[in-house]
């Protein structure tokens, strides 16, 4: 399998999005079936696996962590945060909350590191602010969002995503 650079990470050109294994679009897959699907992706050369605390919630990170444990050092795990999963469900990215959720994600994934941890609140903010940036009335924060959005668009066009549906 060919690889791509994702910042400092080198990952497989095809990544495995693990949201639908644990819920979100219909009932969750059987746990054993989900683990087998993730491990089969790895056997076929996939080294980039994406999850989030909100998927399930929490069940996707647990499943991904368990499935990848035997070969954790051979793969990159991406997860996301930015919502008040235990409360309103709305955006929440205060520093105290980030510290709490990263610790929770690490515990659920059963690992000492998350290779790519993305703030989904910022992504949503970036999408909503793009029109102001493009019209020339941008702040530093909005220019950052433009940079992130452009990079994400490039990454989407440069890599294919393996969907486990």
Rounded CA-CA distance 22/58 in Å is 9
CA distance 121 to 152: 15
CA-closest candidate to residue 144, choices 157, 129, 156: 129
Tokens of 84: 């008040």
Active-site option among 25, 55, 58, 117: 55
Whether residue 58 lies in the annotated active site: no
How many other C-beta atoms lie within 10 A of the C-beta of residue 114? 19
Q: Element (H or E) spanning 16, and its range?
A: strand 14-17
Query: What pLDDT, in 10s, does the model give residues 13-52?
Result: 999 999 888 877 788 889 999 999 999 999 999 999 999 9
Tens digit of each residue's pLDDT (9 = 90 or more) over 55-80: 888 999 999 999 999 999 999 999 99
């Amino acid at each position: 399998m060919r690889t791509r650079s994702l910042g400092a990470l080198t990952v497989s050109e095809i990544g495995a999005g693990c949201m639908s294994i644990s819920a979100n679009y219909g009932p969750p897959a059987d746990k054993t079936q989900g683990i087998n699907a993730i491990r089969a992706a790895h056997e076929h050369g996939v080294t980039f696996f994406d999850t989030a605390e909100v998927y399930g919630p929490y069940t996707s990170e647990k499943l991904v962590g368990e499935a990848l444990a035997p070969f954790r050092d051979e793969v990159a795990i991406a997860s996301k945060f930015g919502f008040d999963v235990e409360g309103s469900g709305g955006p929440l990215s205060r520093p105290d909350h980030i510290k709490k959720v990263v610790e929770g994600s690490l515990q659920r994934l059963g690992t000492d590191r998350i290779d790519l941890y993305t703030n989904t609140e910022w992504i949503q903010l970036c999408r909503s602010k793009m029109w102001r940036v493009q019209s020339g009335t941008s702040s530093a924060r909005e220019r950052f969002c433009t940079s992130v959005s452009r990079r994400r668009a490039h990454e989407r066009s440069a890599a294919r995503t393996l969907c486990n549906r």
